[in-house]
Amino acid sequence: MIASPRIFCLTLPEKPERTERARKHFQERGVSAEFFKAIHGPTAGLSTIHPYEVDNPGSGFRMGFVPTGIFLAHYMLWSAIMLLDNEHFLILEDDAQFPLGWGNRVGQALSDAPLDFDMLYIGSCCCAGRPQTQIKGEVWEVKYPQCTHAYIVAKKALPVLLSTNRKIYAPVDIALNLHSHPLLKVYTVLPAIVMQEETVLAP
């Protein structure tokens, strides 16, 4: 089994209430996360000129400031952790919600996942109806998971993530599905361990 990954949470100076809520929740759940200040798309005024037409060709649809900011947040963090010595990293978004006892399930998933994995999604969405193969226990090969609120990435996978996501035109999870995951060994824990706040609070 691999060593415990170093944990980073993407956060925004423009949203201090979200940062504080995440910090409190992580402390309560024993999540030792370091906060990485990312770009707030609307404040920076950053969007993209490239249309997203995979689902609806000819629509000319372009994603706005927020998805662009989220995409850049992940890309910035991938670039930063390339400079660190650790071999594995758990990347969180600031709405990640950990259940009680999460550590045991994550530890078991890391034990059950192939040692050479590139990405292990401990939080995911939209896996129903996608091709799935059980690897061991709760670890599955899903082609491919969506949502980026909680995933473990191996350092060896970072050059692929960085080189295949130079064009910003789709939300980051869809871009990963289209351009990165087919080149990597990607596994998913089902059912998901880490949820997103709005999912937890939804009726």
Q: Where are the domains of the chain?
A: 6-201
Q: What is the pLDDT at residue 203?
A: 28
Q: How far is the C-alpha of 82 from the C-alpha of 198, rounded, in Å?
A: 31
Q: What is the pLDDT at residue 145?
A: 98
Q: What is the pLDDT at residue 55?
A: 85
Instruction: Express as a percent the part of the chain with pLDDT over 70.
Output: 97
Q: Is the distance from CB of 79 to CB of 162 less than 8 angstroms?
A: yes
Residue 113 phi, psi (nearest 5): -70, 145
pLDDT at 107 exceeding the cut of 60: yes
Confidence band, pLDDT 50/70/90 cuts, at residue 60: confident
Chain mean pLDDT for the chain: 94
Q: What is the pLDDT at residue 201?
A: 36
Confidence band, pLDDT 50/70/90 cuts, at residue 2: confident
Q: How far is the C-alpha of 12 from the C-alpha of 9, rounded, in Å?
A: 10
Q: Is the pTM for the entire model greater than 0.85?
A: yes
Q: Which CATH class is domain 6-201?
A: alpha beta
Confidence band, pLDDT 50/70/90 cuts, at residue 197: confident
From the list 200, 193, 33, the residue with the least C-alpha distance to 112 is: 193
- Mean pLDDT, residues 145-149: 98
pLDDT at 200 exceeding the cut of 60: no
**Tokens 């692929």 sit on residue:** 160
- Mean pLDDT, residues 115-139: 97
- Residue 46 makes CB contacts below 8 A (sequence gap 6+) with 39, 65, 68, 69, 72
Q: What is the pLDDT at residue 56?
A: 84
Q: What is the pLDDT at residue 92?
A: 98
